[in-house]
Chain A
Amino acid sequence: MKRHRLEAWLSHHSTVIILAVPLLVIAAITDLLAGSLLIRLATAMFVSMIIVIGMQVFMGNSGILAWVHVGFMGIGAYIASVCSMTPQMKAIAIPQVYPFLLNIHLPFWPSILVGSAVATVVAAAISYPLMRLSDAAAAITSFALLIIIHAVLVHWDRVTNGPRTLFGIEEYTTLWISVVCAILVLIVAYFFKESSLGLRLRASREDYHAASAMGINITQVRYFSFLISAAIAGFGGGLFAHYITSFTPDAFYLIETFNILAMLVVGGPLSISGAVIGTVLVTVAREGVRAIENTINLNHLLPFEVIGLTEVFLATILILSLILRPQGIMGSRELRWKPKKNMDETNKAK
């Protein structure tokens, strides 16, 4: 009996291990065998994975697409950067920075957490009414919020250096930090999904009115899930900032939204496995095509430059995915370990 229970428990929660182990393997192989370019790509992939999982947490469980998600990534990135940069660097990079910001100098991890916290606070402030809107109105409001966050990042140059590049951030995010953080976020997402809050949210996705009739306060449930999602996005944004070390507000706008959406939709928005698999597949495909694009351009294989080929390719894949398999590769299933029945049971069945 005990073995059964243990097996059942393990099987049920095996998703986390099935996903985490290959990620660690990828990181190990890349670290040991690959050059610095691939290491950077792998790091970027794991950071993106965090953002994608963050979006999955809300969208997969509630069924609502939060267009504003990448905006929180941006908030996390900028705040974490301002916290972690040395005052000397800040004075150069953000010439008109507020004095009280100038003197803040936190170590890496606290900066990341502050970034995530600020993103969460902003989400808390602006999104409660969003939770009650219908499909179409919610999508529009969410999108408008993304635009506003972008506009604020572009114009509040005493904090962000405006539309100009913010540079001088220390490169703290290593390959191993990014993969471990991705796995941590994965675990958080998984236990959220299985928690009572996650279950209630998924009930509301399946059937709004039935869930409501059962006494689930859908607005509240959505709201808290949204905050968790924003916290993850802010966290990922901070990691992103310390990987790429310089960026502009445009890094957290439509292009990034498109990338994240492509990864989530191709893999399957309803499951965490989908988010992970989608990120890996799309990253590999994208970098592959980009390599082709660069080879063509650098070697002048064609009489003209091909720019934008990668994005055209990705967009086509996304559209085909939506037409042919809108639930993504994983659909609503998670990767699970299904233990084989032992000999006694199979004998009994006969």
Chain B
Amino acid sequence: MIVFEFLINAISLGSLYALIALGLVIIYGILKMVNFAYGELIMIGGYLLYLVGLNTNIPWLIVAVIAVIGAMVVSYFTELVAFRRVRVKSLTALLITTFAVSTLLQNGALLVISPRAKAVALPQIFSTSISIFGVGTPVRNILTIVISISMLIGLTILFRYTILGIALRAAADDFQMTRMLGVPANLVISSAFVISGAIAGVVSLFWVGRTASVTPTIGQGPLLIAFVATVIGGMRSLVGAVVGGFVYGVIFSFIGVLLPQVLLDYREAFMFLIVILILLWRPEGLVKVKYAEERVG
């Protein structure tokens, strides 16, 4: 039955990682840019949980919604204010800009709040355990799985059946042609950033939930995870990112249990080595997509 508990852990981590990856790839698929500031959106969510959660009496669920909306708003504005103007110049300039925004947000949190970790209000339910089939497991894990899968389903519906979703997928295929059909470029891009922010917001609830605290650098971990997951699964497809994230999370859990202690420290380096090898062998990722890359002009 330890196996069962471990399985729930692995699936929980896998779903969370899948979600993390999706948030990053939504932007990459359309704009061919890696948003280095993505991790900081998760940080924003965490800090809102701290600021609003610990200093007011608002029920946690509302605080969580505020955190998610906060991440969406920040994501939208980083695009509007910084990325949009640099977007037309060059991809390299854009990447550096996202990096600079990431530094700005991190140090902004440091400056405005504190370099020290801050405790975050979490609902009571996060720390309780329940018993399934006689096995104890934190409720948090179950919630992670349920919420992640719900979000993935919700996003699938968005992408498949709404005109916005179709426009986003079309933009990922061929951004210029999408514009030639009358779809406003800025609408597509802003939507992608808002959706990415929403995902980051939800992720922050569970990411922060693992340590019950938030620091300015808390976004770095998820960013690297999204990185690895996206490369494994394929930077060209949303499905690929989700699969990649899930696989990464599960493998990570497995390695955590199986490897001898000595090598455990190298777990991260190991994963990144796999990243490099995959990039060199199959730059498009493991999930097969047939069409060549193009860049937004």
Contact = CB atoms under 8 A, between A and B. Distances in A.
B88 to A, nearest CB: 10
**Secondary structure type dominating chain A contacts:** helix
A111 B100 CA distance: 34
Interface of B is mostly: helix
Interface in B171-205: none
Contact of A136 (B32, B100, B273, B275): B32
Nearest to B94: A322
Q: For this complex, into which size category does the number of interface residues on chain B fall?
A: 35 or more
B115 A322 contact: no
Contacts of A312: 104, 107-108, 111
A309 B279 contact: no
Contact of A309 (B111, B216, B235): B111
A14 interface: no
B103 interface: yes
Interface in B55-109: 82, 85-86, 89-93, 95-97, 99-101, 103-104, 106-109
Contacts of B207: none
Contacts of B32: 135-136
Given A315-B101, A326-B86, A307 B111 contact: yes
Given A137-B279, A140-B227, A315-B103, A155 B269 contact: yes
Q: Which of A133, A151, A314 has the most CB of B within 10 A?
A: A151
A134 B93 CA distance: 15
Contact of A258 (B92, B99, B224, B293): B99
B272 interface: yes
Interface stretch (A89-97, A142-150, A239-247): A142-150
B276 interface: yes
B92 A135 contact: yes
A151 B109 CA distance: 26
B103 A311 contact: yes
A145 B276 CA distance: 8
Contacts of A307: 110-111, 115
Contacts of A126: 276
Contacts of B235: 136-137, 140
29 contacts: A65-B92, A129-B280, A133-B279, A136-B34, A139-B34, A140-B235, A144-B227, A147-B268, A148-B269, A148-B276, A152-B269, A155-B265, A155-B266, A258-B103, A261-B99, A262-B100, A307-B110, A308-B108, A308-B111, A308-B216, A311-B103, A311-B106, A312-B108, A314-B103, A315-B103, A316-B104, A319-B82, A322-B100, A323-B97
Interface of B: 28, 32-34, 82, 85-86, 89-93, 95-97, 99-101, 103-104, 106-111, 115, 216, 220, 224, 227, 231, 235, 265-266, 268-269, 272-273, 275-276, 279-280, 283, 293, 295
Given A265-B93, A307-B115, 15 more contacts: A65-B96, A136-B293, A139-B91, A144-B227, A144-B279, A147-B224, A151-B272, A254-B103, A257-B99, A318-B96, A318-B97, A319-B101, A322-B93, A323-B85, A326-B93
Interface of A: 63-65, 126, 129, 133-137, 139-141, 143-145, 147-148, 151-152, 155, 254, 257-258, 261-262, 265, 306-309, 311-312, 314-316, 318-319, 322-323, 326
